[in-house]
Chains A and B, each alone.
Chain A
């Protein structure tokens, strides 16, 4: 199996998989994957595929983007509390940005940006 790196995580995103890891000792889930369990300190970790469903816990419509997101402006970006518990940041896609509110139920998707695959979520 691949190492727990940003490169591996992004490789899975490109394949449409939302992968984190699970601590074999304390069963804590991590996304993105970590090298050391932040709950118990164990290095005994295994890949874990998240379902990709969750609800928005924090969200904003950004009108002053960083240079890589200029073409998308305005766009919604937020933090999704996944059904398994952990949260992850993502771009909100395929709907008007104002439709994404705290509490909106969303699911994992991928937005292609040239060579890059951006971790994104769409309204269920």
Chain B
């Protein structure tokens, strides 16, 4: 299976992800900002009116900001009526799914150019309300009803992983430390402090000095959210939007000389409840989506030079790097500890700071990952550039893996 017509990214933009600075803006306004930046990033110029369709990934603007029908709202605000505006909802994989559908719409021949993006405006609700809203992505009838929340489902996954592979929380902390080192180099990231700087700042407030990152991460300043996951194992609440412009390869040359081509893509589903799966230490949908994307692309895990994976919780990054075939089962955590996934490691994972430190406005995340690949593969990622990267992969997960979208990109 493959696309009957090649598709490339010719422009990408995103707002900064943040929990406070966008407080006075709505989701539509954030999306327009991201889309304007994407249009500006098109080397030979782009007008929104060139687009034949709009695809918007969004989890729940109804709950987060009291606005439904968000794709139509955004099409209106971009000034591109009457083109079709589609909203895609696959929980946290909404915009990864939107990207796949946008590419398929071009491949189908219905249009040559589409705008694909994602947005979530989460900060209007307090933390308890956000917990309830995110829990809607799990099984309301059979998981949330017995006390599971979104973090506690991943925490349960971590408990099974630790037991199976005889490992512990310290491997999770290695992911936290690595992703916070990366976010400092990414001006779009919500957090701008590494863990040592965070420890110093938080320590000062309570008159304490931490000798190293681990001492801080094991302290009461990093409280347990749902054991074994602590605060710094969890992505933050964020507002933000990301947008990309996709073009058929046969017209992409009008827009840029260096497109980023979609080489392969995959999307898969799995049971909504974690308990219905035979193994809680892998996401079968990620394995399947990646298998399809690799097959279409002609690449294998060994060809991937940079990847953005869905680290909504630190355990998720470890499982992802195994599901994607980068490391053997049970070795993902050790690989993070050994620095193999660091910015200067053999396979940099989440050079932008990941969901953990860049932020996770859920509906925006999949396209924000594609934004990162657009920058990385064109050598425009600034201080967090992976030197010489030409092939990259993104992995965008909905809830606990009931939906997963994967794409493999190459510099065109």
Task: Enumerate chain A interface residues (CB-CB to B < 8 A).
Answer: 6, 32, 38, 57-67, 69, 72, 75, 77-79, 86-91, 102-103, 118-120
Residues on A with C-beta less than 8 A from B149 are 62, 64-66
Q: Contact: B156 with A66, CB < 8 Å?
A: no
Q: Contact: B148 with A77, CB < 8 Å?
A: yes
Chain A residue with Cβ nearest B224? A63
Q: Given A89-B273, A118-B146, do A62 and B226 touch, yes or no (CB 8 Å)? A: yes
List CB contacts (< 8 Å) of B107-160 with chain A: 127-128, 131-132, 135, 141-149, 151-152, 155-160
Residues on A with C-beta less than 8 A from B156 are 58-60, 77-79
**7 further A-B pairs in the complex, CB-CB below 8 A; given A58-B274, A60-B226:** A58-B159, A60-B152, A60-B158, A62-B148, A66-B149, A77-B146, A88-B275
Chain B residue with Cβ nearest A98? B227
Q: Is B206 an interface residue (CB 8 A)?
A: no
Q: Is B225 an interface residue (CB 8 A)?
A: yes
A23 to chain B, nearest CB (A): 15
Q: Contact: A75 with B147, CB < 8 Å?
A: yes
Residues on A with C-beta less than 8 A from B141 are 6, 32
Q: Contact: B144 with A59, CB < 8 Å?
A: no
Q: Is B276 an interface residue (CB 8 A)?
A: yes
B302 to chain A, nearest CB (A): 32
Q: Contact: A63 with B146, CB < 8 Å?
A: no
Chain B residue with Cβ nearest A60? B155
Q: Contact: A58 with B147, CB < 8 Å?
A: no
Q: Given A58-B159, A102-B159, do A69 and B280 touch, yes or no (CB 8 Å)? A: no
Q: Contact: A61 with B160, CB < 8 Å?
A: no
Task: Enumerate chain B interface residues (CB-CB to A < 8 A).
Answer: 127-128, 131-132, 135, 141-149, 151-152, 155-160, 162-163, 223-229, 271, 273-276, 280
Chain B residue with Cβ nearest A103? B163
Q: Contact: B142 with A32, CB < 8 Å?
A: yes
Q: Given A79-B280, A89-B273, A90-B146, do A58 and B160 touch, yes or no (CB 8 Å)? A: yes
Q: Given A6-B141, A79-B156, A79-B280, do A62 and B147 touch, yes or no (CB 8 Å)? A: yes
Tell me which of A77, A102, A119 contacts B152 (CB under 8 A). Answer: A77
A67 to B225, CA, bound (A): 15
A118 to B280, CA, bound (A): 23
Tell me which of A38, A61, A87 contacts B227 (CB under 8 A). Answer: A61
The 6 closest A-B pairs by CB, nearest first: A60-B155, A58-B156, A77-B147, A58-B160, A102-B163, A62-B152
Q: Contact: A91 with B146, CB < 8 Å?
A: yes
Residues on B with C-beta less than 8 A from A119 are 145-146
Tell me which of A32, A87, A91, A102 contacts B147 (CB under 8 A). Answer: A91
Q: Given A32-B142, A79-B280, A103-B163, do A87 and B151 touch, yes or no (CB 8 Å)? A: no
Residues on A with C-beta less than 8 A from B228 are 60
Q: Contact: A63 with B275, CB < 8 Å?
A: no
B369 to chain A, nearest CB (A): 26
Q: Given A32-B141, A118-B145, do A66 and B132 touch, yes or no (CB 8 Å)? A: yes
A62, A67, A86, A102: most-surrounded residue (chain B CB, <10 A):
A62
B41 to chain A, nearest CB (A): 38
A60 to B143, CA, bound (A): 13
Chain A residue with Cβ nearest B223? A63
Tell me which of B131, B225, B274 contacts A79 (CB under 8 A). Answer: B274
Residues on B with C-beta less than 8 A from A102 are 159-160, 162-163
Pull 14 A–B residue pairs with CB atoms less than 8 Å apart, ordered by A.
Answer: A58-B157, A60-B155, A60-B156, A60-B158, A61-B227, A62-B148, A63-B224, A66-B135, A66-B149, A67-B131, A77-B146, A79-B156, A89-B142, A118-B147
A111 to chain B, nearest CB (A): 9
A66 to B273, CA, bound (A): 17
Residues on A with C-beta less than 8 A from B148 are 62, 77, 89
Residues on B with C-beta less than 8 A from A67 are 128, 131-132
Residues on A with C-beta less than 8 A from B155 are 60, 62
A75 to chain B, nearest CB (A): 6
Q: Contact: B146 with A120, CB < 8 Å?
A: yes
Residues on A with C-beta less than 8 A from B131 are 64-67
Q: Given A63-B223, A64-B226, A66-B131, do A72 and B163 touch, yes or no (CB 8 Å)? A: no
Residues on B with C-beta less than 8 A from A57 are 160, 280
